[in-house]
Amino acid sequence: MKVDMSSDIGGHNSGEMNPAWRVMAWGAALAALALVFTAYLSPQFAFDLASRVWACF
Amino acid sequence: MNPASSPPRLSMSQVLLCGAAIVTLSMGIRHGFGLFLQPVTMERGWTRETFAFGLAVQNLAWGLAGPFAGMVADRHGAFRVLVGGGLLYAAGLVTMGLSTTGLAFMGSAGLLIGMALAGTTYPIIFGVIARNVAVEKRSWAMGAAAAAGSFGQFLMVPVENWLIGSFGWQNALFVLGLATLLILPLAYGLKQPVDEVSTGPAQSVGAAVREAFGYPSFLLLMAGYFVCGFHLAFIGVHMPSYLKDHGLGSGVATMALALIGLFNVFGTYGAGVLGQRLAKRHILAAIYLLRSLTIALFVLLPLTPLSVYVFSAAMGLLWLSTVPTTNGLVAQMFGVRYLSMLGGFVFLSHQVGSFLGVWLGGRLYDISGSYDVVWWIAVALGVFAALINLPIRETAVVRAQAQPA
């Protein structure tokens, strides 16, 4: 991955993102996705959501 | 000169954080509106058509208002449009909760929120990104912002479901209305002096519109995006019904929804990263072709929960991956000066496709008694979109009297 999320294009700083920060950013993003996905797997939520989705048809 | 070049003003981190947060809210809240169908129609005593008509008006208003919102953002800055959009969103959600007639619901959930979406979603945010992020990182930045919108859709379905279950549908709408007011301080992070907004060659709005609609590649791009809208709307609206017809349980539809949402985040981000390295017309052609292949296999193979899950994951990867790529191409062709407005026109084409996908899906089902015809239309449209994206020219338009920024 060569993209640089930390660089400020206005010339303030343009260095590559620190690898540790990059790992943490990816870790945080994946953790957030996993957390939301577990909500979909919760039986009570899944039943409730399925009832609402099914009610549309 | 390269019309894609422009002097950067805001830091990329600031633009990305604020822009991503705004589209997470605006795309996410709207994505959960289907959950309100049952409680709203039951309490108000409306038919489902009343509710569905309000949301259909919302989609059309979103598409029609897009070019105008984009034009204002291009001329006067995204800040004003985002503030106006955030206020309209809040007003729309609150009045949606207070509406007691179908007409009021159409005005609030339909017109107000439709216009609010036009002022707070991708074309407006992409305009700011394109003006402030270097060309070599633009596609990636657009992919990251679009992935945030995808994440919002994934996140807000459980959140809105929880709000409805915990506080009732009306209070849930009021809470969401308050949440949309967060767009106002976030918009401040995207504020630029008006003279810094008008970057690029001197050109009137009319000239920019004439130039775009006289450029074959722009028309091909619009036609491809029409197909994107058709696919998403047809699958999003009619797939649960299709599964129900084939005897699959509601739990399968829920898991399908979750998988599309999850993989959509990766697909959207990945498309932005790929757009930095590969020709965007090739990426778009591949996306549309893979959609056709995925749909064809889904229809031809026996329908099981596993086939639904694989289909959902694959379609999720291809779901909004067209967004950063399509808008990136518009910027490459015409530069960033009228990117939000031209992005709005392209999105209008998407919304017309969405409308047809929903309407034609229902109409052909009523006539033929199955969705088979529509699935195959979707396959054919995907192949068509793949082919028409291939001859698109990714170079900047040549302007006889272009002036440097």
Q: Is the pLDDT of residue B2 over 50?
A: no
| Same-domain status, B128 and B261 | no
Q: Is the pLDDT of residue A3 over 60?
A: no
**pLDDT at B104 (0 to 100):** 95
Q: Is residue B405 part of a domain?
A: no
**pLDDT at B201 (0 to 100):** 66
Domain boundary among B199, B233, B261: B199
| Same-domain status, B172 and B27 | yes
Higher pLDDT, A52 or B104: B104
Q: Is the pLDDT of residue B227 over 70?
A: yes
Tell me the pLDDT tens digit for each residue of B356-391: 888 888 888 888 888 899 999 999 999 999 999 999
Q: Is residue B178 part of a domain?
A: yes
Q: What is the band of B310 on the pLDDT scale with cuts at 50, 70, 90?
A: very high
Residue B149 CA, distance from chain mean position? 8
**Rounded Cα–Cα distance for residues A39 and B202 (Å):** 51
**pLDDT at B273 (0 to 100):** 93
Say if pTM beats, i.e. exceeds, 0.90. no
Residue B194 half-sphere exposure toward CB, CA atoms < 13 A: 6
**pLDDT at B275 (0 to 100):** 92
**Per-residue tokens: B58:** 């919302």
Which chain B residues touch A if contact means CB-CB below 8 Å?
8-13, 16, 34-35, 37-38, 48, 132-134, 137, 140, 144, 151, 154-155, 157-158, 161-162, 165, 240-241, 244, 249-251, 253-255, 257-258, 261-262, 265, 273, 276
**pLDDT at A54 (0 to 100):** 59
> Domain range holding A40?
19-55
**pLDDT at B257 (0 to 100):** 81
- In the block, tokens 């204002």 appear at B72
Q: Is the pLDDT of residue B170 over 90?
A: yes
Give me the DSSP letters along B291-304: HHHHHHHHHHS---
Q: Is residue B1 part of a domain?
A: no
Rg, chain A, Cα only: 19
Closest CB to B13 among A1, A8, A39? A8
**How many domains does the structure of chain A reveal?**
1
Q: Is residue A26 part of a domain?
A: yes
Domain boundary among B199, B220, B246: B199
> Domain range holding B105?
11-199
Q: Is residue B58 part of a domain?
A: yes
Q: Is the pLDDT of residue B165 over 50?
A: yes
Q: What is the band of A13 on the pLDDT scale with cuts at 50, 70, 90?
A: very low
Q: Is residue B383 part of a domain?
A: yes
State the average pLDDT for chain B.
89
